[in-house]
Structure 1
């Protein structure tokens, strides 16, 4: 059993074990039990009724949270010519082609949170698979990060687009906002993510799909949410 500090232990006492809270009440508890001196990120963990060992039960995609995540994300776009300029004009922090690939390969440069690429660049970007892949930075058509519409892709990321992917245990983990956010905005973000996951339900998934939802701040304890109050 991991040992927790006094603040965490005291915060945990405010949460009733075995209770599944309504979304707004759950977020209020998360905010109340966030004791760090910085604006903590609120994370959501969603347990899905899928078996990720099967290819036809993978759940992966992206969704734009209506109220963002509260985090400024650094964007790199792999593109040439007019598309490179389009990306920079749309707010990309970095853009380039072979020069950017070389910078990552030779210097180990990874000062970005999201990578976007035009389809014609993927042959070159593919060389970075071993570097970007394990870090979740590889552009992927399923998450909308391989596209010729780089301006739209950049603006969506800057507006609060997040990617989700089921892990080996069948769980989805994602940031949903900051402790400083209004509760109503956090609830709206949560509902938007859950709606996206429901739409992404694999046809091969049987039985109960949305099995559990838990919220927590960066340093705080988990709060269980009544899933029916989120999906209804």
Structure 2
């Protein structure tokens, strides 16, 4: 007796079932490769791995020497990961030298802040204050309010009350203070606009508000106020 032919619907059903089994096997394989909860590469684990890789690097210098910027950041990371204060101080000092060589003023200030924090925690407040003051001067110059606050807090913890910024600047926003300092240093509206990626008209608007809030009428008065 001849076997009945399978209809199109039955063949489509078998094909769909086979495709479903393939998808299930693929999902199971992906789940097996996924790290178990608590064993994944979380931020702390990644940081520890990064620290081990940095420590495994050959000594910096010679033909393999990095440019000042990346090498300075690498030194700063090694200082943060250092187990003893002497090793941390060596890396921080070299990072500061490289920041200066690369003319990276703001990164230099951040390293000064971290170095001061490490010295303060190591019960060396006098040495810490020297680095924290240097950091504070740069942060105030750039109108970096959060970093300024952090530097002031570290200075207070190191036993010093940080002096307030120039009189009247507390009335300005962080961006207005930054623009005011650049203008007081002699930068034109176009130069300030290029550095801050704004339009000259926006800079002019901010400076008018600065003059109003500080009760002054010219850049000459602004420069005197900052000095």
After TM superposition, the score normalised by the length of structure 2 is 0.29
Q: Which structure dedicates a bigger proportion of its chain to strand? A: 1
Larger Rg belongs to: 2
Query: Which gives a bigger RCO, structure 1 or 2 (Cα 8 Å, sep 6+)?
Result: 1
